[in-house]
Structure 1
């Protein structure tokens, strides 16, 4: 009986912790980290303040683990896609762009049908702090380095500096587009119908075609 009760208690702890992390993703994305309160997070999770202190100890630690939960699986998939290009003896520009674009568009979709992970990334990038800078470095630096190297392989006519800049154009555009097309975000004039009906596959191919023109054009 005691062993059964212990396992039940452990499961309850895991459920509460997971609920708090899911709730924090949406609350921080909707309100911003500084404006959001732990009470809002616990209310959304159906938990109490004591549960936050028990599982995370602080609001900063909750943000760190929320970001890691959002970004970890997403970036693992992005690295795997880039690795497939690295292993290809003759990669082409379109396949590399697809490796950069596709995981970010497909895997950022959340259970509400929006892009809370993308909006959370933009929130934390807009108001940087040492904690989030450290997390972003851990999560992104290797991915960005390897992505730039692959772009250099398929676009050797561009200098290293040009590749670095155009990769930043690509990253910024993807984040901006996906955030604006989030149905939970503000309705964008002229994009209302697209926000409601655009498919991931159509969006991915259109973004890739746009970037392909910018990378393949010679100066």
Structure 2
């Protein structure tokens, strides 16, 4: 892949990510993307073929890496802390919150929030088909830690954990980073609080 090829594709993805974060998927046109990326419409068609594929690739660019980090952390948690719930939750939560510390990842966090807020059946199917397995792997790992919890209840609670995580990533809540506290320290504190909250919710009668 040539540098020009990579830069053009990457510029389009970066522009699309920023615009989707600001205006949503239906509110962003390909013309806006090409203008922001300083490319012509032929470049978008060449690299992605359609707006739907462009949306999918914006997610793939971030979600593939995050999924790999989650699964790698999950394997470590199972090896180093067998049968313990909190390390498994940390493997799920910390890689996602780490996105908020990345200068480019912060825009994607808002895009992810849009995916939850907007009704887009094709996007939801894409995310389910490509990343649903990650959630199922975590549910499989958590199940032995909670032997009395049925599969349906486990899946409900994992969905609630994922929703709370997305909310925390988007920084919608009451807790804001205090002055003098670094983004990293604030993210670590959020992770610790969410892990405790998720563990309590999963263990609830």
Count of aligned positions: 202
- Could you tell me which of 101, 111, 114 is aligned with 1:120? 111
Change (3 A) 1:195 1:146: farther
Candidates 208, 212, 215, aligned match of 2:195? 208
Superposition TM-score, scaled by structure 2 size: 0.85
C-alpha displacement of 1:126: 3.2
- Counterpart position of 1:60: 52
Larger Rg: 1
Q: Aligned residue for 2:167?
A: 176
Decide whether the 8 Å contact of 2:70 with 2:91 is kept in 1.
yes
1:101 and 1:208 in contact (8 A); partners too: yes
Q: Structure 1 length normalisation: TM-score? A: 0.80
Unaligned runs of 5+ in 1: 1-6, 182-187
Change (3 A) 1:89 1:74: closer
- Which residue number corresponds to residue 185 of structure 1? none
Give the alignment's Cα RMSD to 1 decimal.
Answer: 2.5
2:145 to 137, 154, 157: 154
CA distance in 2, matches of 1:194, 1:206: 16
The C-alpha deviation readout for 1:90-113, integer Å capped at 9, x for no partner, is 23111111111111111354425x
Residue among 84, 91, 95 paired with 2:87: 95
Q: What is the alpha-carbon distance in structure 2 between the residues aligned to residue 193 and residue 87 of structure 1? A: 34
Q: Residue in 2 aligned with 1:166?
A: 157
